[in-house]
Structure 1
Amino acid sequence: MTDSSRPRIVVAGSANMDLVGFAERLPRPGETVLGHDFVMAPGGKGANQAIAAARAGASCTMLGAIGSDAFGVTIKARLNASGVDTEHLRTSYGSSGVAVIMVDGGGENSIIVSPGANNTFAGLSAAETTVIAESDVLVCQQEIPPDTVLAAARAAHAGGTRFILNAAPARDLAPELLETIDLLVVNEGEATAITGTPEPDLPALLALVPRVVLTLGANGSRYADRDGREEHVPAFPVEAADSTAAGDAFTGALAVAWGEGRDLIAAVRWANAAGAACARTAGASASLPSRADIDALYSRYA
């Protein structure tokens, strides 16, 4: 794929250092469980999705903030090594974001995030706004200040850039933000938090946004839009080692496939392959698959 044919993806989001501990099972409240491994690696939903998009074939730019600590240096180095443009990545005095992650023997996880520098990512500059407006797809999450997500979304809307919101972690979505969303990506918990329903309700979500992808973990994904299209897209069978960044691999690959002009159901199917390929390897950013890895798994089972 030549540079001229690569979709231009900009990710405005969080960057963290992930501290990952592995044990046979997750501890209950007040309990200590003896683990068997530990990994420290750059992560954060924004950085993960930027790396995922770059590895999946995009020309990707990361907007966000890292700290002035050693974690920040490592995060930026990982982004650069993965082919992500960090020219506009801010450095804020103080601590970078940190995520403490516990992973059990089945690959399930629990995560606590301390935002650090991510909370300083506010007030988009003219240069940052221009980067968004000149891209094919903007991807945001909800680990940065809500006003920044809204500002980025408005810049995308004004520039004709398609906007994907991965509404994680779950929180209320302002009406003015909902008006800018082209595609909402949520898991089951996030879907119910947004609609206030006991179970994921696609019609309720489509009353808010024009297109929805509901991720279902090992059960794949479901796509629906206001044109009446709705389809369950099965998962790709793999032996999961760690699901920590699988959702980010999915979202990054989905942005790339949509930016390449694929039909959205086909894009979701390819993104499912990216999520499955990611889950085969432990770690966050280190496990994000290359385009070749995604295509190999997709070709085997699609």
Structure 2
Amino acid sequence: MIWNLGSINADNFYYLRHLPAPGETIVAEDFRQGLGGKGANMSVAAARAGTRVMHIGAVGPDGKWAVERLLEYGVETQHITMVNTATGHANICVAEDGENSIVIFAGANHEVSDRMIGAALSEASPGDFLLMQNETLGQEFAAPTAKTLGMRVAFAAAPFEPEVVAEAMAYIDLLVLNEGEADELVKALDRPLDSLPIDDIVVTLGADGCKWVSNKAKTTKDFPAYPVTAIDTTGAGDTFTGYLVAALDRRLAMEDAIKLAMQAAALMVTRQGTADVIPDLKDIQDHNFD
């Protein structure tokens, strides 16, 4: 089972002819609202990958619909707390030429307390996964607590802060980074990835696939990307991570888990949206990746 300490956002998309200049008022041509946040995306991906996932997070009084949507997608929601702060959200302005501007408000995501986390993890079993990102608070409490309970800790360290990774390294079993984050971490620590005290590090490389650094086995392996025509890369990394951890929770070998996660991410970039369009296992089985 996966216990995901993660953000829950409303993604508000405003479609405009052009981005507004300072002081300009502009009328949106269209508006869409979807479920988002790195945490929610990963929970949905893990559920659609065929494993149990309990989301640990918070929403405001305006976020009941988001909890219902997660439940609809197969995510367990008993440890999502309603607080007196607006639900986290991203206001995304998209112009006709593809340019965008984004304003993010953390809101209830920063109201997740150690007490909430502890109450959830007290129900976990040894061998379960704790999955974390950096869009909530409480990682410094959650990681050592999970290790004390015999859980495995997976950390998708975005938005990236090298000092957070450095502080949590002793507790992390699986670290997922993109290429830029990996370069930044190596520079900040002045150490290569294969020298870190983390069993497995997976670096996503976009259209170039990904790299698995196994510090336990002292090996590095590259995985080529599956060729697809991308129309929207939003949420692809979250889809990859959710599928990867879910596959490992289902006891797939790391190589098989990475391949499945890459297939899910490849399908995701052919769709427009975030949590609402993450593919399920049947979508992957029905697609020819040869």
TM-score range, shorter chain: 0.7 to 0.9
Partner of 1:217: 206
User: In the TM superposition, what are the counterparts of 1:55-134 in structure 2 within 5 Å?
Assistant: 55-69=48-62, 72-101=63-92, 111-125=102-116, 126-133=118-125
Q: Secondary structure at the match of 2:261?
A: helix
CA distances 1:12-57 after superposition (whole Å, capped 9, x unpaired): 1110101134579x96997999987542111111111111111111
Aligned length: 285
Residue of structure 2 in register with 1:136 after alignment: 128
* Deviation by residue 1:124-150 (Cα, 9 ceiling, x = unmatched): 3443122344562221100011xx112
Work out which of the residue numbers 230, 240, 243 in structure 1 matches 2:220.
230
User: In structure 2, how many angstroms separate the alpha carbons of the residues matched to 1:221 and 1:31?
Assistant: 43
Aligned residue number for residue 173 of structure 1: 164
Seen in structure 2, the aligned counterparts of structure 1 residues 175 and 143 have a Cα distance that, compared at 3 Å, is same
| Ranges of 4+ aligned residues in structure 1 off by more than 3 Å | 21-24, 26-38, 101-112, 131-135
Q: In 1, are the aligned partners of 2:174 and 2:201 still within 8 Å (CA)?
A: yes
Aligned to 2:246: 256
Instruction: Give the letter for the 2:134 counterpart.
Output: Q
SS at match of 1:124: helix
How far apart are the structure 2 equivalents of 1:91 and 1:177?
Answer: 28
Contact 1:107 1:240 in 2 (8 A): no
Structure 2: 5+ residue stretches without partners: none
Contact 2:15 2:93 in 1 (8 A): yes
**Do the aligned partners of residues 202 and 88 (structure 1) sit closer, same or farther apart at CA in structure 2, a change above 3 Å counting?**
same
Moved more, 76-85 or 228-237: 228-237
Helix, strand or coil for the counterpart of 2:192?
helix
Equivalent residue for 1:19?
Answer: 12
Q: In 1, distance between residues paired with 2:96 and 2:256?
A: 32
Would you say 1:301 and 2:263 are equivalent positions? no
Q: Give the C-alpha shift of residue 240 in structure 1.
A: 1.8
* 8 A Cα contact 1:14 1:144, kept in partner: yes
Of 240-249 and 30-39, deviating more is 30-39
Q: Specify whether residues 238 and 89 from structure 1 end up closer, same or farther in structure 2 by C-alpha distance, changes over 3 A only.
A: same
Q: Measure, in 2, the Cα distance between the counterparts of 1:280 and 1:141.
A: 24
Which amino acid in 1 is paired with 2:207? A
Superposition CA RMSD, Å = 2.9
Please tell me whether the aligned partners of residues 245 and 287 of structure 1 are also in contact (alpha carbons under 8 angstroms).
no
2:196 aligns to what? 207
8 Å contact 2:87–2:108 — kept in the other structure?
A: yes
Q: Provide the rounded CA distance (Å) in 2 between the counterparts of 1:27 and 1:230.
A: 44
Q: Provide TM-score, normalisation by structure 2.
A: 0.87
Q: What secondary structure is seen at the aligned counterpart in 1 of 2:271?
A: coil
Change in Cα spacing, 1:157 to 1:75, as seen in structure 2 (3 Å) is same
Q: Could you tell me which residue of structure 1 aligns to residue 233 of structure 2?
A: 243
What is the TM-score of this pair, normalised by structure 1?
Answer: 0.84
CA drift at 1:220: 1.3
Is the counterpart of residue 46 in structure 1 residue 45 in structure 2?
no
Residues 60, 84 of structure 1: 8 Å contact kept: yes
Cα offset, 1:230, TM superposition: 1.3
Letter in 2 for 1:156: A
Moved more, 188-197 or 214-223: 188-197
Retained in 2: the 8 A contact 1:212–1:225? yes
Report deviation, 1:105. 8.4
Please give the alpha-carbon distance, in whole angstroms, between the structure 2 residues aligned to 1:289 and 1:182: 26
Q: 2:284 & 2:141 partners in 1: Cα distance?
A: 32
Distance in 2 (CA, whole Å) between partners of 1:46 and 1:124 is 19
